Amino acid sequence: MTNDYPTDNNATDTHAPRAPKGLSGLSSGLLASFLLGWAPILGKFAYRARVDPMTLAALRTAVAALFLWVIYLIFWRKRIAVGWSAILNCMLVGIINGIGSLFYYSGLSRLDASRASLLGAFYPVWAVIFLSASGQTIRRVTLGRLLISLGGAVLVTSPWMMNTLTDYLGVMLMLAYAGLTGWYLVMGQWVLADVPSRSGTLYILTGMALTVAIARAVSGGTTIAPISTSGWTAIVALGLTTAFSRLAMFFSLEKLGGVQTAIIGLVELAVSLTLAFVFLGDRLAWYQWLGAFLLLGGGVFARMDIERGAIPPPAFNPMDG
């Protein structure tokens, strides 16, 4: 795919109408990052209440999907009516996201919240690889932001600090989650080229909930051990943040595309690190905090990137043949 952005003298006028759309997508992406940053913290609270990873993943997604269906039936009933092909495409994206969430919560149960978040932060690399392979042009300024953000991710992850106590299965689970998240963002960009983000969010999250529920039933049956009040509090809070973060994320994905949304999403890591420091007592070295600031910088510079026209054209959809 060639670059669709104008290069003549009228480029400024052509880009002017795009700025509000891009900046609204940026605001939504940052909101999604803030909400998603709570996921490892709430997950750890649930584990402390003796909720197992598969049950947590299943109930959290069920709460999110049920909440959205209630909201849509009351306020957004018109958003429910979409074509069957759109529903199937959204469900497919949800299946990928659901499998990724299984890897995420399994990995989170084996690692501290900070390291799990850091390892999961490499999904923008996969998003860039997948989109480049599909023929989409990636601008140099976008690649520059990606390199800055990934440099920060390397600093905070500090692979040189791994030792014999490192749970390498947990590491591999989080890296697998990162790869699936990159693919899920790319597919989400293609699907949302044809489906409004609010309609897409409902069916993507529904597909995710069904996938995780089936996995939970296969692995542990339909019986769920008694859950304490603190466990349910963490599950419900995680479900609600999931629902709202997906609404914000898919709106951002619709407006900005997969690469921009993925890089902005790295702000989630800085949020998680700060929350883990405050609520879980996780501690980081000075160079890890430096990496966190680089990650934040990659998200802040998104505004300049967007205003320069680096919004990927999401209309190309290989799923349409």
DSSP assignment of 223-238? ------HHHHHHHHHH
With bands split at pLDDT 50, 70 and 90, how would you rate the model's confidence at 22?
low
What is the structure's pLDDT at 189?
80
Q: Per the structure block, which two tokens stand in for 129? A: 């690889």
Name every residue whose Cβ is closer than 8 Å to that of residue 281 and which is 6 or more positions away in sequence: none
Question: Residues 199-219: what's their mean pLDDT?
Answer: 92
With bands split at pLDDT 50, 70 and 90, how would you rate the model's confidence at 163?
low
More confident residue, 288 or 317: 288
Spatial separation of the C-alpha atoms in residues 321 and 319, rounded to whole Å: 5
**Choice among 131-145, 153-167, 181-195, 306-320 with the minimum mean pLDDT:** 306-320
Spatial separation of the C-alpha atoms in residues 10 and 8, rounded to whole Å: 5
With bands split at pLDDT 50, 70 and 90, how would you rate the model's confidence at 301?
low
Residue 15 has pLDDT above 50, yes or no: no
With bands split at pLDDT 50, 70 and 90, how would you rate the model's confidence at 20?
very low
**CB-CB contact of 188 with 250 (8 Å):** yes
Question: Residues 251-279: what's their mean pLDDT?
Answer: 78
Spatial separation of the C-alpha atoms in residues 198 and 246, rounded to whole Å: 9
Residue 319 has pLDDT above 80, yes or no: no
Spatial separation of the C-alpha atoms in residues 231 and 225, rounded to whole Å: 11
Residue type, 40: P
